[in-house]
Amino acid sequence: RRPRARISHVEIVVMKPPIFGLPGSQERKTRVGWFELFYDLVVVASVSYGSNLFSTRPSWAMGSWLFLSLVLLMTFWLLTMLSHNLFPGEDLIRRLLVVVQMVCLVTASLSLGRDHEGLSDEVGFAALALAFAALSAVYARCWRQRRPESFAARVLTVSTGGAAMIMVVGLVSARFGGSTLEPFLLWIVGLGVACAILPLLFIVLNQHTSRKVIDSEHLSERMGQLVLIVLGESFVSLIFDLSGLTSIPNPLYFVIDFAVVFSIWTIYFTGVLPCGVPHRAWRLRIWILLHCLFMFGAIAAAGGFAALTVLPFGTDPGREGFWTPLPLFYVMVSLMGLSILARRHRVAWHLDAA
């Protein structure tokens, strides 16, 4: 009788694809919650309003205000996202503070229109002061937790509180300064944004990237969701501009808009986002700034394409013909920079793994 083969040991090895991000953060620690996605609704509203303003009155002045408002919105989004990244978990007080911030951001967006349209500058500065104060309260509550991430909460509590005080100065200037101080209001907003975002970029990132505390997969996923919102603004602008018309005046630009958005989506989500987040602080800063430039160009280009679509064939495009290629140039430059960072990050990850 032939002997039976005896299997003494079976080892099953499951191979996982590598996750490119901060070294030491291979396992996902923080899931994107539904409340974080709910917060993104205010981003949709603010982006749509800014794009509509630029499509109706494209100019260098409106472009400057749109860029500053986008930087301001990105500041709030980054600070709120980082609070969930470093301090996961939600309670009723934290949710109420974020809802207060959302209400204030929508109110501030309504004061974006210049030429005395929309809400007044006083209302805008009051809303921004309250929004920064609510964000400071969120980090102050996180400060009380005895964790390695408490350093970030301590720094950002002070920086966002300082930004709230600067917005109060803007409120007083807008209330009592009249039209004489109106040119300086832009500088006050910029100073408040710098007070809030610079400690995040140059203190918190330096500290926590070296200590491998930031959950890179959470950050990468949240940034991808924000890019999807911005790309979707192209279709929103088309629908708003073409609503009420019995036909599409310029089908060529209508199709080109879809082709451009699809091309941008393909480049970003197949070549940039899969490489994850750079693990060095200076590269992560560039990564964030390039995303800000990318979104500004995408929002402005969405308004330009929508304006060109309603122009019949043979009509002089005028200013729309200038303001559409320029934002696309910003998009291409930012995508090129992100692709270079992604390539170098992939090489650096392999070297660290070796």
pLDDT tens string 167-191: 999 999 888 876 667 778 888 999 9
Residue 9 has a pLDDT of 40
Mean of pLDDT values over 198-222: 85
End-to-end CA distance of the chain: 51
Dist CA 91 CA 33 (whole Å): 13
Q: Specify the pTM.
A: 0.81
pLDDT of 323 over the 90 cut: no
* DSSP symbol at 204: I
CA gap 19, 54 in Å, rounded: 39
* Closest by Cα among 286, 278, 289 to 209: 278
Q: How high is the pLDDT of residue 115?
A: 52
Q: Which residues of 60-76 are buried (b: 16+ CB within 10 A; e: fewer)?
A: eebbebbbbbbbbbbbb
Q: How confident is the model at residue 132 (pLDDT cuts 50, 70, 90)?
A: very high
**Each residue of 215-243: pLDDT tens digit?**
888 999 999 999 998 898 888 888 888 88
Find where tokens 């899969």 sit.
274
Helix (H, G, I), strand (E, B) or coil at 327: helix
C-alpha distances (whole Å) from 216 to each of 59, 85, 100, 349 are 37, 9, 27, 13
Q: Alpha-carbon distance 222 to 216, whole Å?
A: 10
Using the structure block, give the residue that is written with the tokens 């300064």.
177
* Segment 38-58 mean pLDDT: 76
